[in-house]
Amino acid sequence: MTEEFAADYRSALDEHLQVDDESSLERAHQLGRRALTAGLSVLDVVLEHERAIVSAADKRSDPIEKLRTAALPFLLQSLAALDMATRGFVEAAERVTIEQAHVAQLQRLAQWFSGAHVDLLADQRLRRMTAWLREVMDATGAYIQFGGADARSGLAHSVPVGLAELLQQEPASATARSAVAEEISGQWLAARLEVHHDDEGASTGLLVVWRAGEFTPFDEAVLAQFGKLASAALRNAELYRREHDIAVTLQSSLMPKSALSTAELTVSARYEPSGLSSRVGGDWFDVISLPGQRVGLVVGDVMGHGISAAALMGHVSVALRAYAVEGHDPATVVTRVDELISLGGDKRLATLIYAIISPDGTLQFANAGHPPPLIVPAGGEPTYLTQALSQPIGVRAAGTPHHDHITTLSPGTTVLLYTDGLIEQRGRSIDEGLDALRSLAAAEASSSLEALCDAALATLVPQPAPDDACILAARRRRLS
């Protein structure tokens, strides 16, 4: 406390004790505002007031208690400014706390819906949303109904009669709430779901939450926002599912309807599309009949996922088949495909293996950045062929042409071509995946190719498959 303030306070109090009028009380109020500006507390002012009374008592013959009584209005007036400021600060602090809680609530809401969760099945998605709804609304129970499905979380009660019809009559952002608290269910608050489709139709649903305490206008705003975000998430899931179906159809249409086998070669293949809508991509295989009873084998993988990746896969596979049937060796075929795709301006890459197996067991292949072929002898240890590895399709690095490797398959030997979806898993390195495939191939060496391919998918690919997986197996027949 400054000496100037103390002196002014004593002078003003002396004046008040001599002349108790409005002007002296106005000076008290001004001193209170000065104390607030100077950062003085209520206690500081009270202590100074007491010192001023003691000083006044030394100058007068009046008892000190009489002076305290006479000076009380002066003290109260000086504290009024501090009191209003203190109450205003407390109220502001309370408002800030509430607003911070509201912001945190909306941030959680945005974070929850930042991932569309398109990879979940419809019933799983509704259950997840219902749990979120119950948490964000601090409710004892929550219920979501959409289309022909519904989900509940916590103490979800019966949906009020006529609620769906009521919500359909309101604007899309409106909510509905209970007029009075029910003895068992308490208060309820509801909002609508609405998903518009490309055909201009719409699917509707509703959200309902229950709790004992009353819902505030902010709760209504949060529930309405939840409804909008949930509607958008359901719409995104619908679009992803549609893209998934188109990509799978496109991939399936470009793959052989049946494996090609000859008098010297047995062939089998399996393709497992990703179980995640957002991960369907450009894996494919092909089996090509070539002159001289030779058979061309192709397995490839286009970088990326979705319809665009499947479309590029179609371009690559058609181009490769066209160059292959012209009779070129694998290195020439892969080089020409690389040049064609690079000229197209597509920035994505593709990896592939193109192999030719001749009736005498000669295996000639070129590998454009793909996982290595696995050779499984009839009675020996499986071995990866790491030769003939070059850059992926689309890189076209100057001075690094694609090239061939030639080896011979003895009767009964199997060659496995596959995509990375068979060997890559979260939490497992690629080397561990390659080792797992080699061990499985050794164990299934005497099995049929169909059984080997089925075992590979069942053992090495988790469900739902996180990525496309493809395996192509060719076995040279044993001599009669």
Interval 49-62: pLDDT, tens:
888 888 888 888 88
Task: Examine residue 150 and state whether it is found in any structural domain, yes or no.
Answer: yes
Task: Examine residue 459 and state whether it is found in any structural domain, yes or no.
Answer: yes
Same domain, 199 and 88: no
Q: What percent of the chain has pLDDT over 90?
A: 28
C-alpha span between 394 and 337 (Å, rounded): 9
Region 41-56: what's the mean pLDDT? 84
Question: Does residue 199 or residue 386 have the better pLDDT?
Answer: 386
How buried is residue 311: exposed, middle or buried, by Cβ count under 10 Å (0-12/13-18/19+)? middle
Same domain, 134 and 222: yes
Q: Where residue 262 falls among pLDDT bands split at 50, 70, 90?
A: confident
The angle at the Cα of 425, spanning 421 to 431, to the nearest 5 degrees, equals 90
pLDDT the model gives residue 173: 44
In this structure, what CATH number is given to the domain that contains residue 342?
3.60.40.10
In this predicted structure, the answer to whether residue 259 has a pLDDT above a threshold of 70 is no
Same domain, 377 and 461: yes
For the record, the structure tokens of 99 come out as: 């607003």
Same domain, 126 and 71: no
Prior bond of 373 cis (ω within 30°): no
pLDDT the model gives residue 373: 97
Q: Where residue 77 falls among pLDDT bands split at 50, 70, 90?
A: confident
Q: How many domains is the chain built from?
A: 3
Same domain, 232 and 318: no
Task: Examine residue 321 and state whether it is found in any structural domain, yes or no.
Answer: yes
pLDDT, tens only, 152-182:
888 777 776 656 565 555 554 456 766 555 6
- Which of 45-54, 139-148, 305-314, 318-327 has the lowest average pLDDT? 305-314
CA-CA distances (angstroms) from residue 362 to 294, 295, 358, 438, 467? 10, 11, 5, 22, 32
Same domain, 222 and 289: no
Task: Examine residue 56 and state whether it is found in any structural domain, yes or no.
Answer: yes
pLDDT the model gives residue 132: 84
**Average pLDDT taken over every residue of the chain:** 81
368 by DSSP, 3-state: which?
A: strand
How buried is residue 253: exposed, middle or buried, by Cβ count under 10 Å (0-12/13-18/19+)? exposed
Domain that holds residue 275: 255-476
294 by DSSP, 3-state: which?
A: strand
Q: State which of 120-129, 236-245, 309-318 shows the largest mean pLDDT.
A: 309-318
Same domain, 290 and 418: yes
